[in-house]
Every structure is written in structure tokens, then in C-alpha cells.
Amino acid sequence: MKSGDRLDQIEPLIVEMLIKIDATSNKVDFLSGEISQLSEEMSKLKVVTHRTIEIIDKQNDSISFLLKNQLELSGKIDKIDEKLENMDRKFDSIDSKFDSIDSKFDSIDSRFDSIDSRFDSMDTRFDSMDIRFDSMDSRLGKMEITQESILALLRNKN
């Protein structure tokens, strides 16, 4: 088999690998954009959530103050205190759930970072393969020159 035939066999493989690399790169770019957009939306949601909790806490304090003053006269302070403590527990529960959601999104971000690093590693491997193919092309060219030189010497002897 001639070196040109070998190159003809290798070229489609290289083209196929480059097409797969391009498709993978496009998918990575798309996912990175989606992650970025999701992160921005989560940041906005987090700010709104924290503002809402602050407003609710302020309203809770105001309501507590008014109810305490009103109910001191009617003797129902103990019942209201229990309700407020229950509400505080619920707000603490809500805060912990938001913290849990934040940690889950952080976990997702780290997973996508891991995927990005894997794709970077794949790109490095493909670059290494390209270098090896270039080296093979160079060697085949040298072998072809050597073969032609040997044939020329053999022809000159005859």
C-alpha cells in the first residue's frame, strides 16, 4: 500500500474527529451560555427572596409589637407568643430551604465546571492527536523520498 493511500484512509478519520470536536465545542458553548443565564436568574431570585424575607421579618416585628400591646390588655399574650415562635420556626425553615437550594445550585455549577474541564482535556487530547498525525505525515514524506532515492539507485545500477 502506498503512503498516499494510507493518507487517503487517515484523512476521513481526521475529518470525522474534527467534526465531532466542533459539535462538542458547540454543545459546550451552548451549555455554558445556559448555565450563565441560569446563574444570573438564580442571583436575581436570591436577591428578591432575601428582600422578601427582610420585608416579612420587618412586618412580623411590626405585627408582633402591635399584637403584644393589644393582647396585653386581653390576657392572650401567651398564645400569641407561641404563634410567633411557630412563625419564627417556619421562617427559619424557609431560610434553610433557600440555603439548601443555593447549595444545590452550587453543586450543579461545580458539576458543569467538571464537565468543562473534561471537554478541555478532550480538546488537549485531540490537539495531541493532530500533532501525531502531522508527525506521521512528515515521516511518510521522508519515507517516500527515501524510497524514490533507493529506486533511483537501483535503476542507475541496471
Instruction: Express each pLDDT in 52-107 by its tens digit.
Output: 989 988 998 898 888 778 767 676 667 778 888 999 999 899 889 888 988 998 89
Residue 42 domain-assigned (yes or no): yes
Residue 6: how many other CB atoms lie within 10 Å: 13
Q: In this model, does residue 30 exceed pLDDT 90?
A: yes
Residue 7 domain-assigned (yes or no): no
The dihedral of CA 46, 48, 51, 57: what is its sign? negative
Burial class (CB in 10 A: 0-12, 13-18, 19+), 149: exposed
**Domain count within the chain:** 1
How much is the pLDDT for 65? 87
Residue 16 domain-assigned (yes or no): no
Residue 51 domain-assigned (yes or no): yes
Residue 13 domain-assigned (yes or no): no
C-alpha to C-alpha distance for 91 and 149, rounded to whole angstroms: 87
* Residues in contact with 79: Cβ distance below 8 Å, sequence separation at least 6, in sequence order: none
Instruction: Express each pLDDT in 104-144 by its tens digit.
Output: 988 988 998 898 899 888 889 988 998 998 899 899 889 99
Enclosing domain of residue 34: 24-157
Residue 63 domain-assigned (yes or no): yes
